[in-house]
């Protein structure tokens, strides 16, 4: 199965269900989940069956629409009370990726802005908005990919962390979008994928989709990145982001900040790729970002036939870390590439976005 030809998150309009590629089963099994119940969708987000900030937002938008379908009342106040509760419940699944709340807030605004019409019509508008969020994501990824291609040339070596590719979005990805677009145009790159402990998104997911696209791909352990850079094999580091502060501090999968520090030492440009929906202009800097802490079993047991650590050992398992803005060469968005100082350039990006609608 060609991974670039199917959707990892989609709405089945005929059956009124959310169809997800279960990313916890990759690369060994390709299994799709068909979900209607809001609790199952919450679990899919929390358990990383759907992951990647844009994909989480899309799944949540479809999830809130499906929740609305199950609200059987005729007056707006009763409908909105239940709809808002469903929205808040979905929003609690993961605290760090801003796309989750961004998408759900968009859906809630549709309901609030149309309180005077029939509930059935509101439900139709909610479906249309969720589909629009997904379609916009596809367009965004392509724009980001085009801009990213201006930063590299044919034959370059690129190091990436976690998975910010097609599996994490509707199409192409963010940090991997330039690679996929380049392949469409006959370009060749050598991509080094950090395995990305503890959940191995690089090993299981990025390598999976890159190999499917015919990309020359090498898997490395996270602690091998310095040696690969020292060997002169890396021309740029491309990573995604789950939330970016107004000053450019960027939160991404744990281990990303260490890569940025290494890249600065070896004088390799470090780029962050993210849609404007992942930029939170309401937070001043990275210190204001809530870092999700995951269950200890992801480190001690998840990938082993037998537990590999003593029962009584303490485990610290933060899902993300924050890259300081001074380590970032550029932040690639669908409205342009922001450069330091980010407090100014990100504001300009949003002015451009607001002007272009």
C-beta atoms surrounding 165 within 10 Å: 30
SS3 for 304-336 is CCCCCCCCCCCCCCECEEEECHHHCCEEEECCE
Name the one residue in this structure whose structure tokens are 């982001």: 241
Helix H or strand E segment including 15: none
Enter the tokens of residue 55.
Answer: 């994909």
Q: Residue 319 and residue 347: Cα distance in Å, rounded?
A: 28
Phi, psi of 78 (to 5 degrees): -65, -40
Cα separation, 316 vs 299, whole angstroms = 9
Q: What is the dihedral of CA 287, 329, 319, 18, to 10 degrees?
A: 110
At residue 229, the 3 state secondary structure works out as helix
Q: DSSP readout, 89-148?
A: HHHTS-SS-HHHHHHHHHHHHHHHHTTTS-HHHHHHHHHHHHHHHHHHHHHHHHHHHHHH
The answer to whether residues 95 and 80 touch, using CB atoms and an 8 Å cutoff, is no
What are the C-alpha distances in Å from 216 to residues 16, 183, 190?
39, 11, 5
**What are the backbone angles phi and psi of residue 216, rounded to the nearest 5°?**
-65, 105
Active-site residues, by number, are 242
Please state, as a whole number, how many other Cβ atoms lie within 10 Å of the Cβ of residue 138: 16
Find the angle CA(287)-CA(290)-CA(294) to the nearest 5 degrees: 130
Strands 336-338 and 330-333, by their bridges, are antiparallel
């Amino acid at each position: 199965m060609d991974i670039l030809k199917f959707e990892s998150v989609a709405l089945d309009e005929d059956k009124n269900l959310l169809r997800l590629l279960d990313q916890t089963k990759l690369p060994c099994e390709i299994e799709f989940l068909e979900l209607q119940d809001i609790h199952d969708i919450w679990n899919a987000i929390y358990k990383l069956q759907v992951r990647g900030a844009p994909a989480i937002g899309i799944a949540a938008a479809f999830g809130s629409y499906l929740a609305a379908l199950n609200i059987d009342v005729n007056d707006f106040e009763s409908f909105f009370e239940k709809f808002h509760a469903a929205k808040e419940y979905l929003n609690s699944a993961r605290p760090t990726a801003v796309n989750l709340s961004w998408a759900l807030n968009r859906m809630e605004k549709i309901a609030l802005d149309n309180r005077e019409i029939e509930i059935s019509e509101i439900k139709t508008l909610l479906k249309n908005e969720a589909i629009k969020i997904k379609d916009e994501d596809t367009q965004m990824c392509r724009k980001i990919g085009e801009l990213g291609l201006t930063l590299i040339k044919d034959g370059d070596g690129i190091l990436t962390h976690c998975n910010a590719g097609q599996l994490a979005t509707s199409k192409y990805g963010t940090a991997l979008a330039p690679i996929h677009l380049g392949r469409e145009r006959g370009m060749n790159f050598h991509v080094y994928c950090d395995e990305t402990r503890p959940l191995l998104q690089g090993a299981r997911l990025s390598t999976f989709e890159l190999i499917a696209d015919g990309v020359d791909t090498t898997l490395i352990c996270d602690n091998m990145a310095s040696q690969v850079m020292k060997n002169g094999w890396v021309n740029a580091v491309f990573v995604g982001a789950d939330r970016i502060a107004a000053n450019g501090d960027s939160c991404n999968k744990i281990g990303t900040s260490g890569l940025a520090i290494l890249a600065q030492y070896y004088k390799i440009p470090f780029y962050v790729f993210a849609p404007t929906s992942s930029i939170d202009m309401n937070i001043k800097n990275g210190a204001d970002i809530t870092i999700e802490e995951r269950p200890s079993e992801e480190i001690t047991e998840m990938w082993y036939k037998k537990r590999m650590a003593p029962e009584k050992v303490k485990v610290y398992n933060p899902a993300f870390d924050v890259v300081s803005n001074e380590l970032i060469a550029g932040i690639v968005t669908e409205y342009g590439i922001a450069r330091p100082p980010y407090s100014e350039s990100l504001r300009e990006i949003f002015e451009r976005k607001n002007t272009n609608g």
